[in-house]
Structure 1
Amino acid sequence: METAAPSANQYSKVIANSKRIRWDIDNDVIRRRRFDLEKTFLPSGLSLVNELDFMTSDDQRLLSQVQGRSYAYIFGLVERFIGAKVLEISRQHALGDQMALEALVRMADEELKHQELFRRMEAMMAADMPAGYVATADPNAVANAVLSKSSWSVLALTLDIELFTLAHYRASIEPRDDLCALWKDVFLAHWKEESQHAVLDELEFLREDARLNPAERDAAVGDLIDLVVAVDGILQAQARADATYFHSIAGTRYADAQRAAIGEGVLKAYRWQYIVSGVTATRFQEVLLGVLDDTQTARVMDALQPLLYAMPAAIRH
Structure 2
Amino acid sequence: MQSAPSASQYAKVIENSRRVRWDIDKDVIRNRRFDLEKTFLPAGLSLVDELDFMAPGDRRLLSQVQGRSYAYIFGLVERFIGAKMLEVSRQHALGDQTALEALVRMTDEELKHQQLFRRMESMMAEDMPAGYMATADPDAVAAAVLSKSTWSVLALTLDIELFTQAHYRASIEPEDDLCALWKDVFLAHWKEESQHAMLDELEFLREDAHLTAAERDAAVGDLIDLVVAVDGILTAQASADASYFASIAGTRYDDAQRAAIAEGILKAYRWQYIVSGVTAPRFQKILFGVLDDSQAARVTDALQPLLHAMPAPTSGMTRH
TMscore range, shorter length: over 0.9
Alignment of 1:35-74 (within 5 A): 35-74=34-73
C-alpha distance in 2 between matches for 1:277 and 1:266:
15
TM-score of the aligned structures, taking structure 1 as reference length: 0.99
Instruction: Identify the residue that residue 140 of structure 1 maps to in structure 2.
Output: 139
Q: Which residue of 2 aligns with 1:177?
A: 176
User: Residue 125 in 1 paired to residue 148 in 2?
Assistant: no
Match of 1:259 in 2: 258
Q: Which amino acid in the other structure matches residue 219 of structure 2?
A: A
Give the Cα–Cα distance (whole angstroms) in 2 for the partners of residues 120 and 316 of structure 1.
30
Which residue in 1 is equivalent to 2:98? 99
Once residues 160 and 225 of structure 1 are traced to their aligned partners in structure 2, the CA distance between those partners, rounded to angstroms, is 13
Secondary structure of the equivalent of 2:307? helix
Provide the rounded CA distance (Å) in 1 between the counterparts of 2:229 and 2:265. Answer: 18
Q: 1:3: how far off?
A: 1.2
SS of 1:239 mapped into structure 2: helix
Question: Where does 1:28-39 land on structure 2 (aligned, <5 Å)?
Answer: 28-39=27-38
Residue 164 of structure 1 corresponds to 163
Count of residue pairs brought into register by the alignment: 316
Task: Give, in whole Å, the separation in 2 of the partners of 1:106 and 1:115.
Answer: 14
Asked if 1:270 corresponds to 2:276, the answer is: no
- CA offsets 1:223-278 (integer angstroms, 9 cap, x no match): 00000000000000000000000010011111111000000000000000000000
Aligned residue identity for 1:302: D
Q: What is the SS of the residue equivalent to 1:104?
A: helix
Task: Indicate conservation of the 8 Å contact 2:170/2:318, yes or no.
Answer: no
- In structure 1, the partner of 2:232 is 233
**Which residue number in structure 2 is paired with residue 8 of structure 1?**
7
Aligned residue number for residue 289 of structure 2: 290
> Does the CA-based 8 Å contact 2:154-2:203 persist in structure 1?
yes
Query: 1: distance between equivalents of 2:58 and 2:250?
Result: 11
Structure 1 unpaired stretches of 5+: none
SS at match of 1:309: coil
Amino acid at match of 1:40: T
In 2, Cα distance between equivalents of 1:4 and 1:241: 46
1:141-184 Cα shifts (integer Å, max 9, x gaps) = 00000000000000000000000000000000000000000000
* Residue 18, structure 1, aligned to residue 17, structure 2: yes
What do residues 37-96 of structure 1 show as CA deviations (whole Å, max 9, x unaligned)? Answer: 000000000000000000000000000000000000000000000000000000000000
Cα distance in structure 2, aligned partners of 1:55 and 1:313: 16
2:208 alignment partner in structure 1: 209
Distance 1:216 1:311 in 2: 32
Cα-to-partner distance string for 1:261-304 (whole Å, 9 max, x where unaligned): 00000000000000000000000000000000011000000000
- Whole-angstrom distance in 1 between the partners of 2:188 and 2:275: 24
Divergent runs of 4+, >4 A = none
Counterpart position of 2:111: 112
Query: In 1, distance between residues paired with 2:229 and 2:18?
Result: 35
Counterpart for residue 90 of structure 1: 89
Distance 1:208 1:120, change over 3 A: same
Aligned amino acid, residue 297 of structure 2 = A
Cα deviation 1:164-216 (Å, max 9, x = unaligned)? 00000000000000000000000000000000000000000000000100000
SS at match of 1:196: helix
Taking the aligned partners of 2:257 and 2:66, their CA distance within structure 1 comes to 18
Distance 1:101 1:94 in 2: 6
Number of the residue aligned with 2:198: 199
Following superposition, the deviation at residue 316 of structure 1 comes to 9.8
| Identical aligned residues as a percent | 84
* Contact 2:168 2:187 (8 Å CA) reproduced: yes
Measured in 2, the distance between the counterparts of 1:173 and 1:293 equals 36
TM-score in terms of structure 2 length: 0.98
Return the alpha-carbon distance in structure 1 between the equivalents of residues 108 and 249 of structure 2: 40
Superimposed CA distance per residue, residues 84-128 of structure 1 (whole angstroms, 9 cap, x where no aligned partner) = 000000000000000000000000000000000000000000000
